[in-house]
Amino acid sequence: MQEQKSKASLRLFVKTLIISAGAMLLVVGIGWLVISSTVRPPDIPVIAASAPFQVEAGDGPFEDAYIDADDELLPPRLLQFEERKPMFFTFLIFGLTEGLNANTIMVAAYDAQAGQAYIVSIPRDTMVDVQRGSRKIVSAYPVGLLHGGGMEGGVDRMKYEVSTLIGFRPDFYVRIDYEAFTRLVDAVGGVEIYVPFHMYYRDPFQDLHIDLQPGLQTLDGEDALLFSRYRTGTRGISPTISDYQRIEHQQQVLAAAAGQLLTPASILRIPEFASIFNDHVYTNLALGELLWFGNEARGIGGMDALSLYTLPMLGTSGAPSWYELADEEGILELINRTINPFVRDITSEDLRIVN
């Protein structure tokens, strides 16, 4: 009798397990079908050739050299939508500090027909053609945020100032803060990074404490952020690096995180990624559009199809401002070879570079 009860209990357990597993698969399948139905390439925004950057009359930070009679800050000459390369997408990606400065600024492009992706980093201290006190591009977002209409104003201002350096306005934008960065890295299981030396720095005013040992290791979100932020070392313990070296570190983390995102296991984390994006990432791309780019990346060989660059500079202006001075000739060569979304070359007439 006891043996019969045990067999009956086992059959009930197995039956319950099968039914539960089937129900779970059904739910997951329905969820995936719902998500898959939204996966599609985004539409390229159409920008009128005469589209200005809107400003308020008499607003000090926007009293630039190119304001017209209607108090509109005109961008560099805008190319027509009809001149676009087919299936060529461009993105402004920038990361904010607690003080809302854009310490990380990148312009990315994806050529779906050629199966190639590019990222061009812009040094945060690059001098731009504006008349405000600080002419560094790092100040663009907070200026637009405070004087141009909140987050949208900040993004518009970033797009405008970036366009003066590259000759066009990126189609899409992704604004990431520290919280989003750390949570995304943690969500993909960390990133494998080679730390070149002992990175040690203490700054109680910023509540910044960096202590990373050298060597190849998997960094969690918090340590990956510290690795990306490191610039000044504590004297006698760690060296100080240039902004270009910090850009290289940021690109390493980005490439490692993107590589993790393209693994099959990341599909199971889509709800977590969606939550992070909804809470901490400000973008004009829908989740289905982001998933489309992810599928494209898997199809073209993942990170092997991505090329990383830094916008060419002539050098620094020196004290007291320490501006990075843009190299117009080098920029034109790089942009036209990589992220230019138009069928004709960007020329010096499309830029507003000052040195």
Whether residue 85 is found in the same domain as residue 175: yes
pLDDT higher than 70, residue 12: no
Whether residue 168 is found in the same domain as residue 276: yes
The C-alpha atoms of residue 92 and residue 105 are separated, in whole angstroms, by: 8
Whether residue 167 is found in the same domain as residue 22: no
Whether residue 175 is found in the same domain as residue 194: no
Q: Is residue 231 one of the residues assigned to a domain?
A: yes
What pLDDT score was predicted for residue 32? 43
Q: Is residue 8 one of the residues assigned to a domain?
A: yes
How confident is the model over 148-158, as pLDDT tens digits?
678 888 898 99
Whether residue 157 is found in the same domain as residue 284: yes
Q: Which amino acid is at 60?
A: G
Whether residue 12 is found in the same domain as residue 134: no
Whether residue 170 is found in the same domain as residue 95: yes
Domain count for the chain: 3
Of the given ranges (52-66, 178-192, 197-211, 287-301), which has the lowest mean pLDDT?
A: 52-66
**Angle made by CA atoms 252, 298, 290, in degrees to the nearest 5:** 80
Whether residue 150 is found in the same domain as residue 245: no
Q: In this structure, are residues 243 and 125 in contact, taking their beta carbons and an 8 Å threshold?
A: yes
Q: Can you state the percent helix, strand and coil of the chain, rounding each to 5? A: 45, 20, 35
Q: In this structure, are residues 197 and 238 in contact, taking their beta carbons and an 8 Å threshold?
A: yes
The C-alpha atoms of residue 103 and residue 109 are separated, in whole angstroms, by: 20
Whether residue 272 is found in the same domain as residue 173: yes
Assign 207 a pLDDT band (cuts: 50, 70, 90). confident
How confident is the model over 306-345, as pLDDT tens digits?
899 999 999 999 889 899 999 999 999 999 999 999 999 9
Q: Tell me what the mean pLDDT of segment 99-127 comes to.
A: 92
Q: Is residue 275 one of the residues assigned to a domain?
A: yes
**CATH number for 124:** 3.30.420.590
The C-alpha atoms of residue 48 and residue 51 are separated, in whole angstroms, by: 5
How confident is the model over 222-231, as pLDDT tens digits?
999 999 999 9
List of E strands, 156-222: 172-176, 191-195, 199-203, 208-212, 215-219
Whether residue 163 is found in the same domain as residue 291: yes
Whether residue 240 is found in the same domain as residue 317: no
pLDDT higher than 50, residue 70: no
Indicate the residue among 221, 250, 279 that finishes a domain.
Answer: 250
Whether residue 82 is found in the same domain as residue 174: yes
- Omega cis (within 30) before 52: no
Q: Is residue 197 one of the residues assigned to a domain?
A: yes
| Rg of the chain over all Cα atoms, to the nearest angstrom | 24
pLDDT higher than 90, residue 260: no
Q: Is residue 42 one of the residues assigned to a domain?
A: no
Q: Is residue 289 one of the residues assigned to a domain?
A: yes
Of the given ranges (12-16, 27-31, 35-39, 55-59), which has the lowest mean pLDDT?
A: 55-59
Beta-sheet pairing, 208-212 with 199-203: antiparallel
Q: Which of 112, 122, 206 is nearest to 164 (CA)?
A: 122
Half-sphere exposure of 181 (CA within 13 A, CB side): 24
Highest mean pLDDT among 69-73, 204-208, 298-302, 315-319: 315-319
Q: Is residue 230 one of the residues assigned to a domain?
A: yes
Highest mean pLDDT among 149-163, 214-228, 253-267, 285-299: 214-228
- The residue segments making up the domain with residue 22 are 1-37
Q: Tell me what the mean pLDDT of segment 155-182 comes to.
A: 92
The C-alpha atoms of residue 112 and residue 117 are separated, in whole angstroms, by: 8
What pLDDT score was predicted for residue 66? 39
If you average pLDDT over every residue of the chain, what do you get? 81
DSSP 8-state class, residue 56: -
**Angle made by CA atoms 126, 132, 137, in degrees to the nearest 5:** 25
Spell out the residues 6+ positions from residue 208 whose beta carbon is closer than 8 angstroms to its own.
Answer: 201, 202, 226, 229
Higher pLDDT, 115 or 28: 115
Q: Is residue 312 one of the residues assigned to a domain?
A: yes
